[in-house]
Chain A
Amino acid sequence: MNLDLAPQYVAFRDECRQWLTDNHPGRIGSMDTAIGFEEHRAWEKVLFDAGWSVPAWPSVYGGCDCDLIEWLIYEEEYWLSGVPGRVSANGVSLLAPTIFNFGTQEQQDFFLPRMASGEHIWAQGWSEPEAGSDLAGIKTKAILDGDDFILNGQKTWCSRGAFADWIFCIVRTDPEAERHQGLTYLLVPAETPGMERRPIGRLDGEPGFAELFFDDARVSAEHVLGGVGQGWAVAMAAAGSERGLSLRSPGRFMAAAERLRALAANVTDLDPRLRDEVVDAWIKAQAYRWNTYQMAADLMEGDEIGPEASEGKVFWSELDLELHATALRLMGPMGEVAHAGNDWLDGYVFALSGPIYAGTNEIQRNIVAERVLGLPRR
């Protein structure tokens, strides 16, 4: 064990911090509005041009070959600096690992640089009206016709789906096959004729997600990722990323915990019960950090993230809620007032979705019980 940062990591941290300070774009619109989406895309390009959009990727695709420790440091500095969030997160965190694992050379060369620069912003098209937690119940059909698949069906709850350029979908290519069989991972351009998207207003009214309707929509078979019929295995590889550290690094929660601490420090006559809640949330952010560094050490030794990623998903999503709910309580009657300076309110609304997306926390707890602890499935 060595918890000292080696000089090159200290220098890396300084470099991150300096760049973020010098290039902070100030406040931009919500990424879930038409204008804000494009402002966020422009921010992605600024990051990309400086080499900071995907630091952990190989330089050939626009990254800077950071190791895991550097990436964690980068994330800590990124969120602490208060620059805008990442509209590219679905693609970079969830799809990219799958493309690196399963994509052909052509797919990697085409998609990865465009994802890194913000030219392609991705949405996830997995859930359907009848396939939420029970993802294997997917019904959207894709039938091969010449060099194309013809898609019919419906996807829903596609985050960023209202404005995204591409959607990574799981579709049923073999209608006779049951459940986990006969599924295929397919990359779908948002401008596909026969695909209609309808934005859905989130709790705060913004079109944070969308439903997609496929009516004989034609998608090239070149956009299959990982082989026809292999969709479940390919998707589960990404589910590990979604639950694990690549989607929600500790930096995000450490930054929120620090802002919460500062908020509490400025409250006169702080209620001791509220103070306790602040301290508990602050400690948990540290716990998430050190749990992640422990996992990072294992990964750097060659281990893979297994079902224990589900523990992390429960922990960070509930921590995020705790951080934001505590902040709103600290603000008292001003907590509900929506104004440009009240990021806690937007953050709270977003945090409320955390225990639901990426597999509900009930499903995650089942996974922990069955696949980590080994309890009987039935």
Chain B
Amino acid sequence: MKFSFTDEQNMFRETVRELFADRCPPDAVRQSWDNDDGRVPGLWAALAEMGVLAVLAPEAAGGLGMNEVDLVRILEEAGYAGVPEPLVEHVAVAVPALAEAGHAALEAAIAGDSTITLNLSGEVIVGAAADAVVHRHGDTLQLVTEWQADEAASIDQSRRLGVLTDITAADPLDGADPDLAFDRAALGTAAQCIGVARRLLEATVEYVAERHQFGKPVGSYQAVKHHLANVKIALDFAAPLVYRAAWSVAHDDDPAARGRDVSMAKAQASEAVDLAARQALQCHGAIGYTFEYDLQLWLKRAWTLAAAHGDVRFHRDRVAAAIGI
């Protein structure tokens, strides 16, 4: 029993954090909104170069042969940076599904030559400019390579949405488990929620220490302190559930236990990021409510990710069923 990350895992995380800080600052995120494909130029290739896209691909297929415990804090960093790429969809779900199905599209996916997104539980897909979609079809997964979709605008400009209207070409992904794919998507999204919440809290702590009213920093007022202490507490008790769920996805062969752990993680991470967003906005005051100020990047990510791949209610229901009430 040792509930901590290794030095290697921490170093990998640090390297990815630096990459995002360098290649994906808020200005780059904003520029991506005006691009045709909604992407940050060069970022995907840099992630491929660093091995991030190949974390969950087996070594025999040219991947890193790592697992969700290795991946979880990297996805947290993607949330922290506000990365507008379908990273969870591609790295945490599509890559291992292609590997498990032995599909030839894996090679391009880990090389960064393609981007694959998801459609597991509805019609809306994120990262609409993707090359393929891992799609749930009954109790199976398939790789959709040709489809029609209507564009849809998300409140979060970093999420290019499409509403799937027709599928014209798809390969079966035999051997890939759609329930596992969903748990991976929920876990990856929970990890991003933790990163988003960290960023919101950091930005707010910084702001309230600088902003003065009545001759002193607003962060010295107890009402503000307690809001932010509550965010810190929610975050620090949600994150361990996310790491614990990563272990379950990587190591637990029992789908019921895995689903329970993932749902506990996503429920708490969704609540934490929702609280972080509300208090971040409140403690910033009017400046946080503007389009120009960068806080909005993480506010909107908080709202959308809290609901993506199962909101609090959905995951709470799943835990209830798992524990027999």
- Please list the residues of chain A having a beta carbon within 8 angstroms of any beta carbon in chain B: 1-6, 9, 69, 261, 264-265, 270, 275-276, 278-280, 282-284, 286-288, 290-291, 293-294, 296-298, 300-301, 308, 311, 314-315, 362, 364-366, 368-370, 372-378
Stretch at the interface among B151-159, B160-168, B219-227: B219-227
Q: Say yes or no: B320 contacts A311, CB within 8 Å.
A: no
Specify the chain A residue showing the minimal Cβ separation from B313: A276
Q: Say yes or no: B244 contacts A3, CB within 8 Å.
A: yes
- Give the chain B neighbours of A373 by CB distance below 8 A: 201, 205, 228-229, 232
Q: Say yes or no: A301 contacts B226, CB within 8 Å.
A: no
Q: At the interface, yes or no: B104 with Cβ under 8 Å from chain A?
A: no
Stretch at the interface among B3-11, B20-28, B287-295: B3-11
- Give the chain A neighbours of B230 by CB distance below 8 A: 365
- Give the chain A neighbours of B226 by CB distance below 8 A: 362, 365-366, 369
- Give the chain A neighbours of B205 by CB distance below 8 A: 373-375
Complex Cα distance, B65 from A79, in Å, reads: 41
Q: Say yes or no: B240 contacts A294, CB within 8 Å.
A: yes
Which one of A1, A270, A288, A301 lies within 8 Å of B237 (CB-CB)?
Answer: A288
Closest chain-B Cβ to A270's Cβ sits at a distance in Å of 7
Which one of B217, B222, B238, B319 lies within 8 Å of A366 (CB-CB)?
Answer: B222
Q: Say yes or no: B1 contacts A286, CB within 8 Å.
A: no
Complex Cα distance, B325 from A283, in Å, reads: 13
- Give the chain B neighbours of A300 by CB distance below 8 A: 2
Q: Say yes or no: A370 contacts B2, CB within 8 Å.
A: no
Complex Cα distance, B241 from A330, in Å, reads: 27
Most chain-A CB neighbours within 10 Å: which of B230, B237, B244, B319?
B237
Specify the chain B residue showing the minimal Cβ separation from A290: B240
Task: Give 8 new A-B contacts, CB below 8 A, not counting A293-B1, A375-B217.
Answer: A1-B2, A283-B267, A284-B268, A294-B243, A297-B3, A365-B230, A366-B222, A376-B217
Q: Say yes or no: B241 contacts A290, CB within 8 Å.
A: yes
Q: Say yes or no: A372 contacts B323, CB within 8 Å.
A: no
- Give the chain A neighbours of B150 by CB distance below 8 A: none
Specify the chain B residue showing the minimal Cβ separation from A366: B225
* CB-CB under 8 A for A369 and B229, given A286-B264, A287-B237: yes
Closest chain-A Cβ to B228's Cβ sits at a distance in Å of 6
B interface, how many residues as a size bin?
35 or more
Can you list 30 A-B contacts with CB-CB less than 8 angstroms, sorted by A residue number? A3-B1, A264-B325, A265-B325, A275-B320, A278-B325, A280-B316, A283-B319, A290-B3, A290-B240, A290-B243, A293-B3, A294-B4, A296-B3, A311-B237, A314-B229, A315-B237, A362-B222, A366-B226, A369-B225, A369-B228, A369-B232, A370-B225, A372-B229, A373-B232, A375-B205, A375-B217, A375-B228, A376-B216, A376-B217, A377-B220
Closest chain-A Cβ to B203's Cβ sits at a distance in Å of 12
Complex Cα distance, B325 from A342, in Å, reads: 21
* CB-CB under 8 A for A291 and B4, given A275-B325, A279-B319: no
Q: Say yes or no: B4 contacts A298, CB within 8 Å.
A: yes
Q: At the interface, yes or no: B324 with Cβ under 8 Å from chain A?
A: yes
Complex Cα distance, B228 from A370, in Å, reads: 10
Q: At the interface, yes or no: B60 with Cβ under 8 Å from chain A?
A: no
Closest chain-A Cβ to B110's Cβ sits at a distance in Å of 24
Q: At the interface, yes or no: B236 with Cβ under 8 Å from chain A?
A: yes
* CB-CB under 8 A for A1 and B3, given A261-B324, A283-B264, A291-B236: yes
Q: Say yes or no: A376 contacts B209, CB within 8 Å.
A: yes
Most chain-A CB neighbours within 10 Å: which of B205, B225, B243, B316?
B225
Specify the chain B residue showing the minimal Cβ separation from A293: B3
- Give the chain B neighbours of A280 by CB distance below 8 A: 316
* CB-CB under 8 A for A282 and B319, given A1-B5, A69-B1: yes
Complex Cα distance, B324 from A314, in Å, reads: 29
Which one of B233, B241, B264 lies within 8 Å of A368 (CB-CB)?
Answer: B233
Q: Say yes or no: A372 contacts B232, CB within 8 Å.
A: yes
Which one of A4, A293, A365 lies within 8 Å of B225 (CB-CB)?
Answer: A365
Complex Cα distance, B110 from A282, in Å, reads: 39
- Give the chain B neighbours of A378 by CB distance below 8 A: 216, 220
Complex Cα distance, B278 from A343, in Å, reads: 38
Q: Say yes or no: B225 contacts A291, CB within 8 Å.
A: no
Q: Say yes or no: B325 contacts A375, CB within 8 Å.
A: no
* CB-CB under 8 A for A265 and B324, given A3-B251, A286-B264, A315-B233: yes
- Give the chain A neighbours of B216 by CB distance below 8 A: 376, 378
Most chain-B CB neighbours within 10 Å: which of A1, A293, A314?
A1
Closest chain-B Cβ to A176's Cβ sits at a distance in Å of 31
Closest chain-B Cβ to A369's Cβ sits at a distance in Å of 3
- Give the chain B neighbours of A291 by CB distance below 8 A: 236-237, 240
Specify the chain B residue showing the minimal Cβ separation from A260: B325
Q: At the interface, yes or no: B118 with Cβ under 8 Å from chain A?
A: no
Closest chain-A Cβ to B148's Cβ sits at a distance in Å of 39
Q: At the interface, yes or no: B208 with Cβ under 8 Å from chain A?
A: yes
Q: Say yes or no: B241 contacts A279, CB within 8 Å.
A: no
Specify the chain A residue showing the minimal Cβ separation from B204: A373
Closest chain-B Cβ to A80's Cβ sits at a distance in Å of 15
Sort A-B residue pairs by CB-CB distance and give the 8 closest, nearest first. A369-B225, A290-B240, A368-B229, A297-B4, A365-B229, A293-B3, A287-B237, A375-B219
Complex Cα distance, B229 from A372, in Å, reads: 9
Q: At the interface, yes or no: B126 with Cβ under 8 Å from chain A?
A: no
Closest chain-A Cβ to B318's Cβ sits at a distance in Å of 9
* CB-CB under 8 A for A311 and B236, given A365-B230, A368-B229, A369-B226: yes
